[in-house]
Structure 1
Amino acid sequence: MPQLLRRTYNSLTRLGPRRSVETLLSIAEDSLFDMRMGTDTTARIPQAELEVISPEHQAEAKPYVMTRARALRRAFEYSGAPLDKSFIDIGSGKGKVVMTAALFGFKRIVGIEFAPELVELARRNLTKVRSHLPADTDVQVVCADATRYDYGPDDCVFFLYNPFGADVMTAFCQQLARSLKAHPRKLWIIYTDPAFIDVMLGQLPVVEKPRLIYGGFEIAFLTHDPATN
C-alpha cells in the first residue's frame, strides 16, 4: 500500500488530477485485457536482454514498454487516418499496438520488430485475439529491420513509440522517403514520445498537427499529401 500511495502521489504531482485518472483507467483496462484474453503485453523488457537481427542498431533501441490502449484509440481517432490503408507499427514489441489497431478496425496491420523473441511473443498474443477480429482482417508481425524493410504503395499509416535514437531514426526516414518517391501517396504518422521529431521533419516531406496529451503520453501527428505538401 505505501508503494501504491507513493506512485499515486508522484503521478498527481507530475501529471495533475485529470491525466492521473486517465493513467489509472488505462492501467486497469490493459490489465483486464491481458486477464480476459490470456495475453502478455504489460511487462517491460530491457533492450539488453534481447537478441536482435541488427546488432549495430541495438545501442539506440529502446526497451519494450507497452503503449496504453486508451491513448492509442484516441490517437487513432484524432489522426484521421483511414482504416482501409495499411497500418505499420515500427518496433511492435509484444503486439499490443498491432492488436489494438486490429480491434479498432484497421483492415491490414503489420508489426515490424527486430527482436525475434518479441516477434514470437506478439504472434502468440495475436492467436489469442484473432477470434475477436473481423474475418477480413489481415494482421501479422514480421521480424525485420525498419530501416531496411520494403514499404509498399499501400503502407500509409505509421505508428512509432520512440523506438530508437536519432541515427536509426534518420535511416528509417530515409528508407520511408525512398518509398514515397517510388510510390507517391498520402501518409499519416502517429509518433508517441516524439523525442526525435526534428529528424523526421527534416528527412520527410511532412507537416505536424497539434499534439495530443493523454495520461502519461504525448503524441505527435504528422501528415503528407503529395497534392499539397
Structure 2
Amino acid sequence: MPQLLQRTFNSLTRLGPKRSMETLLSMIEDAVFDLRLGTDMTGRVLQAELTVINPEHQAQAKPYFLTRARALRRAFAQSGAPLDRGFLDIGCGKGKAIITAALFGFKRVRGIEFAPELVSVAKQNLDKARRLLPPGTELNVVCADATAYDYGPEDCVFFLYNPFGGDVMREFAQQLARSLRQHPRKLWVIYTDPACLSELMRELPLQEQPRLTYGGYEIAFLTHTPVLQ
C-alpha cells in the first residue's frame, strides 16, 4: 500500500489530476482485459533479457513496455488513418497495440518484432484474443528486423512506441523511403514518445499534425502524401 500511495503521489505531481486519472483508468482496463482472456501484456522486459535476430541493433533497442489501450484508441481515431489499409506496429513486443488496432477496426494488422521470445508471447496473446475480433480480420506477428523488412504497397499505417534510438530509426526510415519510391502511397505514422522524430523526418517527407496527450503519453501524428506526376 505505501508503494501504491507513493506511485499515486508521483503521478499527481508529474501529470496532474486529469492525466493521472486517465492513467489509472487505463491501468484498470488493461488489467481486466488480461484477467478476462488470460493474456500476458504487462511487465517490463529489458533488452539484456532477450536474444534477438540482429544483435548489432540491440544496444539501441528500448525495453518493452505495455502501451495502454485507452490511449491507443484515441490515437487511432485522431490519426485519421483508414481502417482498410495495412497497419504495422514496429517493435510490437507482446502484441497489445496490434490487438487493440484489430479491435478498433483495422482489417490487416501486423506486428514486427526482432526478439523471438516476445514474438512467442505475442502469438499466444493473439490466439487468445482472436475470438473478440471482427470476422475477416488479418492479424499476425513477424519475427524480423524493421530496418530490413520488405514493406509492401498496402503497408500504410505505422505505429511506433519509441522502439529504438536515432541510428536505427534512421535505417528504418531509409528502408521505408525505399518502399515509398517503389510503391508511392500515402502514409500515416502514429509515434508515441517521439524521441527520434528528427531522424525520422530527415529521411521521410512527413508532415506533422497536432499531437495527442493522454495519461502519461505524448503521441505525434505524421502523414506523407505522394506528389502526383
Query: How many angstroms apart in 2 are the aligned matches of 1:161 and 1:38?
Result: 24
> After the TM superposition, which residues 14-93 of structure 1 pair with which residues of structure 2 at under 5 Å, given as runs?
14-93=14-93
1:44-80 deviation line (CA, Å, top 9, x unaligned): 1111100000000000000110100000000000000
Tell me the TM-score normalised to structure 2 length.
0.98
Tell me the distance in 2 between the aligned counterparts of 1:5 and 1:116: 36
Structure 1 residue 86, shift from structure 2 partner:
0.2
2:3 & 2:113 partners in 1: Cα distance? 34
2:6 aligns to what?
A: 6
Tell me by how many angstroms 1:194 deviates.
Answer: 0.2
CA distance in structure 1 between the aligned counterparts of 2:69 and 2:205, rounded to whole angstroms: 29
- Count of residue pairs brought into register by the alignment: 228
Q: Which residue of 1 aligns with 2:189?
A: 189
Aligned equivalents of 2:127 and 2:140: distance in 1? 10
Tell me how far apart the structure 2 counterparts of residues 130 and 3 of structure 1 sit (CA, whole Å): 36
Once residues 41 and 94 of structure 2 are traced to their aligned partners in structure 1, the CA distance between those partners, rounded to angstroms, is 6
CA distance in 2, matches of 1:183, 1:134: 29
SS of the residue corresponding to residue 119 of structure 1 reads: helix
Distance 1:16 1:200 in 2: 31
**Matches of residues 203-222 of structure 1 in structure 2 within 5 Å?**
203-222=203-222
Match of 1:148 in 2: 148
Deviation >2 Å, runs of 4+: none
Q: Compute the displacement of 1:135 (Å).
A: 2.1
* TM-fit CA distance, 1:192: 0.2
Measured after TM superposition, the shift of residue 122 of structure 1 is 0.2
Q: Does 1:128 align with 2:137?
A: no
How far 1:201 sits from its partner (Å)?
1.1
Identity between Structure 1 and Structure 2 (%): 70
Residue 137 of structure 2 corresponds to which residue in structure 1? 137
SS of aligned partner of 2:177 = helix
1:166-195: per-residue Cα shift (whole Å, max 9, x none)? 000000000000000000000000000000
Deviates more, 1:67-76 or 1:1-10: 1-10
> RMSD value over aligned CA atoms?
0.7
Following TM superposition, by how much is the alpha carbon of 1:26 offset from its aligned partner in structure 2, in angstroms?
Answer: 0.4
Which residue of structure 1 lines up, in the alignment, with residue 115 of structure 2? 115
Deviation sequence 1:65-114 (CA, Å, 0-9, x none): 01000000000000000000000000000000010001000000010000
Distance 1:180 1:3 in 2: 49
User: Take 1:125 and 1:178, find their aligned partners in 2: how far apart are those partners?
Assistant: 32
**Residue number in structure 2 paired with 1:172:** 172
Aligned pairs for 1:97-112 (under 5 A) are 97-112=97-112
Deviation digits for residues 120-166 of structure 1 (CA, Å, limit 9, x no counterpart): 10000000011111220011000000000000001000000000000
How far off its partner does 1:227 sit?
A: 3.5
Shift of 1:43: 1.1
TM-score (norm 1): 0.98
Distance of 1:9 and 1:134 partners within structure 2? 40
Aligned mates of 2:77, 2:120 — CA distance in 1 = 29
CA distance in 1, matches of 2:55, 2:14: 35
Q: Deviations over 1:186-214 (max 9, x none)?
A: 00000000000011111101010111000
Question: Which letter does structure 1 place at the counterpart of 2:54?
Answer: S
